[in-house]
Amino acid sequence: MYTFSSRLKTFAFILMALGILGMAYGFYMAPKTIADVEAILDKEAAEHHGSHDGAEAHTTTNETHTTTAVAQTETGHHRENDATMSDAVHVDTIAITPMADGHHDAQVVTDVTTTTHSEAAGSKHEAHDAHADHEKHLEHVLHQLQNKPWAALYIACIFLMLISLGVLAFYAIQQVAQAGWSPVLFRVMQGITAYLPVGSVVFFILLVLTGLHFNHLFVWMVDGVDVVGHENYDAIVANKVGYLNVPAWLIRAAIFLIGWNLYQIYSRKNCLLQDDATDNLYYKKNFNISAMFLVFFIVTESIMSWDWIMSVDPHWYSTLFGWYVFASFFVSGITVIALVTLYMKSRGFLEYVNTSHIHDLAKFMFGISVFWTYLWFSQFMLIWYSNIPEEVTYFITRIEDYNLPFFGMVVMNFVFPVLILINTDFKRLSWIIAMAGIIILLGHYVDFFMMIMPATVGDRWFIGIPEISSLIFFIGLFIFVVFTAMTKSPLLPKRHPLIEESKHFHY
Amino acid sequence: MSSNKVIYAIYNDDDILMDAVKQTRAAHHHIEEVFTPFPVHGLDKAMGLAPTRLAICSFIYGLIGLSFATWMMNFIMIQDWPMDIGGKPSFSYIENMPSFVPIMFEMTVFFAAHLMVITFYMRSRLWPFKQAENPDVRTTDDHFLMEVSVNNNEEELIAFFQNTGAVEVKVIEKH
């Protein structure tokens, strides 16, 4: 039996406490009104002046014309395409950044001249328009900044919950494949998946709050998005309302979460019953429910990825997205199994786990990292290659506003594990696995960050206090729940038909 | 001392062979070669053979393949004739890199696999018209043969191998 070390427990509580404080700070610091946003933007503009003394003259000129420029670009854009959050993000970025190219200046100048030459009434009208658009821009930035702590919370919450789901999927595969090496790790996996019920509840509450308009994470939830003539009307989203509507979205979420949790609970229960059984009935039951779970899982996982992740960009879709998300949390799950196993082993609790078991986990970490990269690249390259405007905006916003995290995560999730974990001897060294595992987990956090942030906060992103606090809060909760669950049952299944083979597993 | 005599100890079970190999090593007799009809798991470790370095070769070959593909695509598509093909940016390698990745990947695999196989053939001296080196035809079917050099201790060795469960112990003059 495992005993939860009091130091680790304290550590988990500290993480949770710090996380809550940081999250509260994040929500407190988010701007409440348009006036706050205006102040923030003015401050940013002032800072910008300070840092570019040489270009000051030019920037000032640009500053005076900013509103006009915004009006120009935005109205133009509205005309050709119904403006949406994500589209507007892109346009606004261009408008805010002081651009030095002659074309832009010329456009502004021409515009100004036209205004001067036109009659007074017309000029007044234009100014009014510009003012309205400026207000619109402020409101847009306000939404982005208000989204920031929510998005940070959402990402950390879904990331940790999906990690335990990834472990559950791995566990089910091991059962169905009748793997001979992994039964000694089953109790570790069950401990990690014990986070799933807790994580699901927290996540579902977050979804309900989102559905009740506590935040603007999902633009398709905005009122009037499907009402013709409404200021929020969006023809593209309106066509998807049959699928993307809050009640259906919450019902689907409830079905998925309940289904996964039922498997988690029953498979653990059967595994414990098998310990004291006289026949293999519970083992066979577990085999059957695992097979059924995997079928359920692969369907629900796909839909889950559309509902909870892809729909933050409701104008964009990708067919392999579900697989991509799966690969991301599956490899993170396997990595967490490896890290928890190493920790438990180092505390002397896993007698029968040897370097061959670790080696196998490391091979999975390596292989699924490559699989993730394959899907990431397939998605990216197909869209980059065909360059269809309606789908390529997804990557343009990411490359322009998130250049370092976007490409940095490929280095962390692919280049690094490939170079480190390709060596057989390295896959048996605890410190290498721990190091590679931490990099992989951080990389996949950034991956989820990249899926959610660009659509919710746009170019206003930063990995600061709200993001880090949300992450450490859920890590603390994860550690607490997982290691508490680990104390509830013996760490070695007793009568599992493959347990002897697993104990003597040697590669 | 200068005789070319060797002992052929023949076994009909891989477990007995493994035990015999361990005993022979423990008795410090030099094992020249072991012939088996199929891979015997752990035999190389029991014989104390050095691990293979083929994987390292393969990794290096893969890097060569990757470099070759990069150089080739850069020279053809960017340096030599940077043509606008369907609007793909050919101003620098990095701008058009995603479209080169499939080639870079395949070249890496191609070089890594083929050069490694050729290395294997060369290192294990295998080629189409090579003279087969079977000491006993049964070793390709169901018998295992351990070859140990004789250093004026013929009687001792014969007795030793008969005790290791060999079904047959032969002394052969090698040419």
Instruction: Test B55 with A384 for CB contact under 8 angstroms.
Output: no
B148 φ, ψ to 5°?
A: -130, 135
Is the pLDDT confidence value at A84 over 90? no
Give the residue-averaged pLDDT of A75-83: 40
Residue with tokens 């023809």: A235
Long-range contacts of A225-234 (CB under 8 A, 24+ apart): A233/A82, A234/A82, A234/A84
| C-alpha distance from A394 to closest chain B C-alpha (Å) | 16
In this complex, is the C-beta atom of A366 within 8 Å of any C-beta atom belonging to chain B? no
Supply the pLDDT for residue B63. 97
Mean pLDDT across chain B, nearest whole number? 92
Q: Where is pLDDT greater, at A505 or A71?
A: A505
Mean pLDDT across chain A, nearest whole number? 85
Give the residue-averaged pLDDT of A171-190: 95
User: Could you give the count of Cα atoms lying within 13 Å of A272 in the half-sphere of its Cβ?
Assistant: 12
Is the pLDDT confidence value at A476 over 90? yes
Residues A384, A355: Cα–Cα separation, whole Å: 42
**If 0-12 CB within 10 Å is exposed, 13-18 middle and 19+ buried, where does residue A328 land?**
buried
Residues A40, A145: Cα–Cα separation, whole Å: 10
Instruction: Find the helix or strand (DSSP H, E) in which A262 lies.
Output: helix A246-276
Supply the pLDDT for residue B115. 97
In this complex, is the C-beta atom of B55 within 8 Å of any C-beta atom belonging to chain A? yes
| C-alpha distance from B148 to closest chain A C-alpha (Å) | 29
| Per-residue confidence band for A125, with pLDDT thresholds at 50, 70 and 90 | low
Q: Report whether A353 contacts A193 (CB < 8 A).
A: no
> Residue A380: closest CA among chain B residues belongs to which residue?
B98
Residues of B in contact with A377 (CB under 8 A): 98, 101
Residues of A in contact with B98 (CB under 8 A): 377, 380-381, 384-385
User: Could you give the count of Cα atoms lying within 13 Å of A367 in the half-sphere of its Cβ?
Assistant: 7
- B171: DSSP letter: E
Supply the pLDDT for residue A127. 64
In the numeric block, which tokens belong to residue A214? 């506590």
Supply the pLDDT for residue A42. 84
> Residue A383: closest CA among chain B residues belongs to which residue?
B98
Is the pLDDT confidence value at A65 over 60? no
Share of chain A above pLDDT 90, in %: 71
In sequence order, what are the residues at sequence separation of 6 or more whose Cβ sits closer than 8 angstroms to the Cβ of residue A296? A259, A263
> Residue B97: closest CA among chain A residues belongs to which residue?
A381
Give the residue-averaged pLDDT of B37-46: 92
| Per-residue confidence band for A140, with pLDDT thresholds at 50, 70 and 90 | confident
- Measured between alpha carbons, how far is residue A448 from residues A309, A406, B28, B44, B149 in Å? 9, 11, 60, 46, 64
Long-range contacts of A145-148 (CB under 8 A, 24+ apart): A145/A30, A145/A31, A145/A37, A145/A40, A145/A457, A145/A460, A146/A30, A146/A31, A146/A215, A146/A216, A147/A215, A147/A216, A147/A217, A147/A456, A147/A457, A148/A26, A148/A30, A148/A457, A148/A460, A148/A461, A148/A462, A148/A466
- As a three-state string, the secondary structure of A189-231 is HHHHHCHHHHHHHHHHHHHHHHHCCCCCCCHHHCCCCCCCCCC
Q: Which of A496, A442, A479 is nearest to A191 (CA)?
A: A479
Q: Which of A360, A88, A343, A394 is nearest to A219 (CA)?
A: A88
**Number of cross-chain residue pairs from A and B with Cβ atoms under 8 Å apart:** 12
| Segment 4-33 of chain B within 8 Å of chain A by CB | none
Neighbours of A210 (CB within 10 A): 20
Residues A439, A425: Cα–Cα separation, whole Å: 19
Give the residue-averaged pLDDT of A229-256: 94
Instruction: Test A422 with B59 for CB contact under 8 angstroms.
Output: yes
Q: Which of B98, B63, B109, B104 is nearest to A377 (CA)?
A: B98
Give the residue-averaged pLDDT of B134-161: 90
Supply the pLDDT for residue A66. 39
Q: Tell me: the pLDDT tens digits for A459-469?
A: 889 999 999 99
> Residue B105: closest CA among chain A residues belongs to which residue?
A374
Is the pLDDT confidence value at A196 over 80? yes
Q: What ipTM is given for this predicted complex?
A: 0.90
Residues of A in contact with B59 (CB under 8 A): 422
| C-alpha distance from A378 to closest chain B C-alpha (Å) | 10
Supply the pLDDT for residue A53. 45
Supply the pLDDT for residue A126. 60
In sequence order, what are the residues at sequence separation of 6 or more whose Cβ sits closer than 8 angstroms to the Cβ of residue A277? A495
Q: Across the interface, which of A384, A422, A424 has its CB nearest the CB of B98? A: A384
Q: Report whether A82 contacts A234 (CB < 8 A).
A: yes
Supply the pLDDT for residue A123. 53
Give the residue-averaged pLDDT of B106-127: 96
Q: Which of A450, A377, A361 is nearest to A414 (CA)?
A: A377
In the numeric block, which tokens belong to residue A238? 């309106």
Q: Tell me: the pLDDT tens digits for A294-336?
A: 999 999 999 999 999 999 999 999 999 999 999 999 999 999 9
